[in-house]
Amino acid sequence: MGKIELDVHTHTIASGHSYSSMNEMVNEAKAKGLQLLGMVEHDVGIPGTCDPIYFKNYHVIPRVFNGLKIILGIEVNILDYDGKLSISDDLYQCVDYCMAGIHFHCYKPGSIEQNTNAVIETIKNPHISVIVHPDDGYCPLDYEKVVLAAKKYHTLLEVNNNALRSSSRLNSRENVIEMLQLCKKHQVKIILGSDAHIHFDIMNFDHIEGILEEIDFPKELIVNYDVDEFLKYIDKKV
Ligand SMILES: [Zn+2]
Ligand SMILES: [Zn+2]
């Protein structure tokens, strides 16, 4: 297998706490040799993010931008233990893909059963392609159940570089290792996300690489090496 072809968890200035324009993002991704760049902005619930009208106007943006293929999505918030999401239904048709995850601005951590149910119900949601950063020990999960659900419902679990280097999360590294070991055991594909909030961080996986090496995680299970493989996870969704 060759090199990393895609990074689809990145944010532009529109998310309110990120700092680069779309033009800067695309040029950085091109310079780093990516074949596909995905930009998502936070959904309502995260302070300072864009209004829904931002997503509704995505149609004006060419999906080949300065010669690079791009996709435009949304990072949706999981709101409760039943997997209720922040996104309004009319936005699904406006975006190329949806990622979803827990953010403490709009989710109160519950028991391991409650958190696991929240994530599994989101995995089952036919609009959601990726569960982002399921690694924070302050919101414990039953990883075996999550991994098996991801396999069954053809939803990707993300290993998030930004989360791994954050000091505000609990046991992220240990949780990612547990999740990856289970993905390896059950042959479940994952996606790496830089979660870049500034263009320099696009394709920055420096906190992930050592873990993948340490547990000898198979490249075949990482969709970032194959754009076509990744696209299978978003084609039937949204
Ligand atoms: Zn996030
Ligand atoms: Zn993000």
Q: 10 C-alpha vs ligand 2 centroid, how far in Å? A: 6
Q: 99 C-alpha vs ligand 1 centroid, how far in Å? A: 9
Q: CA-CA distance, 93 to 90, in Å (whole number)?
A: 6
Is position 1 within any domain?
A: no
Contact 99, 76 (CB under 8 A): yes
Q: 195 C-alpha vs ligand 1 centroid, how far in Å? A: 8
Contact 134, 119 (CB under 8 A): yes
ipTM: 0.98
CATH number at residue 52: 3.20.20.140
Beta bridge partners of 74: 41, 98
Q: CA-CA distance, 80 to 77, in Å (whole number)?
A: 9
Q: 238 C-alpha vs ligand 2 centroid, how far in Å? A: 18
Is position 134 within any domain?
A: yes
Closest listed residue to residue 200, CA positions, set 24, 66, 67:
24
Q: What is the pLDDT of residues 6-49, one digit of tens each?
A: 999 999 999 999 999 999 999 999 999 999 999 999 999 999 99
Is position 181 within any domain?
A: yes
With b meaning 16 or more CB within 10 Å and e meaning fewer, what string describes 103-114? beeebeeeeeee
Its domain, for residue 127, covers 6-235
Q: CA-CA distance, 110 to 122, in Å (whole number)?
A: 16
Q: What is the pLDDT of residues 169-205, one digit of tens each?
A: 999 999 999 999 999 999 999 999 999 999 999 999 9
Report the domain count for the chain.
1
The amino acid at residue 117 is: N
